[in-house]
Structure 1
Amino acid sequence: MSAPHAQTRGTTGLPAPGSEQHHAPWCALNGQVHLWWFSLCLPPTALEGQLAALASGERSRLATMPPVAAARATTCRAAVRRLLGRYTDMEASALTISTSPHGKPRLADCHGITFSIAHCRDIGVLAVSRQFDVGVDIEPSERPVDLDMFARCVLSEAEARRLASMPPQDRRIHALRIWTRKEAVLKAAGTGLDRPLRLIDVDDIAQPLQLAGEQRCWQVQDIPLAHGRWLAAVAFDARMENPPIVARHYPDTVMSEQETEGV
């Protein structure tokens, strides 16, 4: 699988309403999975402009949330809608996004575009593909882990043996990778966390994974972001046959393109 690249310039603001340029070269999926990561921290002066990207129902729901949570949710939803708008050639606020009973998001009537969202602390991620389902999860690489409880509640027997055999200094990071992989697979499958995590083995991601009771198989790829400060995992339908995964920071790619075009 192609090594992902990430743009890590320090831009934290999102493009202003109306600044999106459709049909950008990076919008062509061409059998790839695109992974976008973005900051959820915007100055208060920038938040009002992001509301224009949201649907009216979203704005109403956000108005009932605590201010800090509302600000992060606004930033995340605006980034997701603006990016999906470029892939579908639609206005961000006009996109119809629904969720399955287990919370898997879907676009209505948008040319087979599939996507998955994750957020943690002050960062959000969006995975985008076409025709085949994808899932994504992210964790901070410094997050502490109770390894004994993790082994009892999350790991399969084989995963627990592998973790116990590793050098102590490597176990925490490996546990976080296992967690992000399992979350990504369950998001791609659209089943949520109702499945017993111990029955899912993602230790060997070189092999396709099949969930009990399902015909589809999944592949998983680990993606380090921001020079390893964040650990992400992307799961995708194995029928995609090892697609390149392209990781980018938003809005750096958008702004670079606009500078090139003289916008």
Structure 2
Amino acid sequence: MWANGQGDFTLSAEQIHVWSADLRATEAQVARLRQLLSADERARADRYRFPRHKRRYTVARGVLRQLLGQYLGVAPVDIVFHTTKYGKPYVKAQVSGQVLQFNVSHSYELALFALNLGRRIGIDVEHRRRVIDLESVANHFFSAAEIETLLAAPTHAKQQLFLNCWTRKEAYIKGLGEGLSHPLDTFEVSMKVGAPVCLLADYTDPTAPQRWQFYLLTPNMEYVAALAVEAKADERLQTVGAWQLSCWRWQ
């Protein structure tokens, strides 16, 4: 599923492209990517206390600029980012008359980049580290049904269920682009291993499950990831073969 190489920078409305990037980089590589960043981005990188966090941000942002530059046909350094009132970044440039939608997530040493034309999209990746007191975290952020599912699971299965739920919820709210104004406990996602990956309910928007599609992503065995993309009811990814998900590793 995850192919090495430069991939394809031609997008259609029926396609979703997902790229992964290893955030471990040499000092020379980080320096080259830093040159692509804006003054504001460099200032943000410099505010990180620990060098590894500065490196991860610089590499992720630099790779994002390189990817967007390929799709938009412009120099990475010339890309101008704007932000919504909720802080979600976007670009005004279009591809074939459609807005290039993108979303980014990174955890530890891996970043994922999702791109699509004209459809809201969200992605989240989490390292398979052990979550301390996951039941307490779930009680604060999960819906009642999700909490019930987690508590009913055997101890050895709870970590995976928690990460499944968390990544899918994060992908959805990132796709919506509304930040924490859309509380995590106001909607419910599937989380059981082997069950279809989907939005089960949004208590603030009953039609949302018919308008959003989800993917389970496995970039490697150390990470869990999820992708959410807005799609009409008659474009459900499970039944419409025209939809394509392509994944590559950025090198």
TM-score (norm 2): 0.82
Contact 2:72 2:93 in 1 (8 A): no
Judged with a 3 Å threshold, the aligned counterparts in structure 2 of structure 1 residues 209 and 81 are, in CA distance, closer, same or farther, namely farther
Give the CA deviation at 1:220: 1.6
CA distance in 1, matches of 2:46, 2:134: 39
CA distance in 1, matches of 2:249, 2:133: 31
Letter in 2 for 1:82: Q
Instruction: Indicate whether 1:28 and 2:10 are aligned.
Output: yes
The aligned length equals: 232
Judged with a 3 Å threshold, the aligned counterparts in structure 2 of structure 1 residues 158 and 98 are, in CA distance, closer, same or farther, namely same
The alignment yields a C-alpha RMSD, in angstroms, of: 2.4
Give the CA deviation at 1:32: 1.5
Instruction: Indicate whether 1:229 and 2:211 are aligned.
Output: no
Give the CA deviation at 1:45: 2.2
Letter in 1 for 2:148: R
Judged with a 3 Å threshold, the aligned counterparts in structure 2 of structure 1 residues 62 and 221 are, in CA distance, closer, same or farther, namely same
Residue deviations 1:132-173 (CA, integer Å, cap 9, x gap)? 010011111233242321331122222222223333321210
Q: Secondary structure at the match of 2:2?
A: coil
CA distance in 1, matches of 2:212, 2:202: 6
Give the CA deviation at 1:120: 1.3
Contact 2:150 2:161 in 1 (8 A): yes
Contact 1:210 1:218 in 2 (8 A): no
Partner of residue 241, structure 1: 236
Letter in 1 for 2:204: A
Which ranges of structure 2 fall in alignment gaps of 5 or more residues?
Answer: 191-195, 238-242
Identify which of 103, 108, 121 aligns with 1:121.
Answer: 108
Alignment of 1:36-185 (within 5 A): 36-66=19-49, 67-111=51-95, 112-185=99-172
Deviates more, 1:108-117 or 1:207-216: 207-216
Judged with a 3 Å threshold, the aligned counterparts in structure 2 of structure 1 residues 57 and 156 are, in CA distance, closer, same or farther, namely closer
Letter in 2 for 1:119: H
Give the CA deviation at 1:248: 1.6
Deviates more, 1:160-169 or 1:123-132: 160-169
Letter in 1 for 2:223: W
Q: Secondary structure at the match of 1:162?
A: helix
Q: Secondary structure at the match of 2:164?
A: helix
CA distance in 2, matches of 1:57, 1:132: 28
TM-score (norm 1): 0.79
Partner of residue 214, structure 2: 220
Deviates more, 1:62-71 or 1:145-154: 62-71
Contact 2:101 2:121 in 1 (8 A): yes
Which ranges of structure 1 fall in alignment gaps of 5 or more residues?
Answer: 10-23, 252-263
Contact 2:124 2:225 in 1 (8 A): yes
Contact 1:145 1:172 in 2 (8 A): no
Residue deviations 1:160-200 (CA, integer Å, cap 9, x gap)? 22223333321210111100000000000001123332221
Give the CA deviation at 1:6: 0.8
Letter in 2 for 1:68: R
CA distance in 1, matches of 2:10, 2:35: 25
Identify which of 193, 197, 206 aligns with 1:205.
Answer: 197
CA distance in 2, matches of 1:209, 1:182: 11
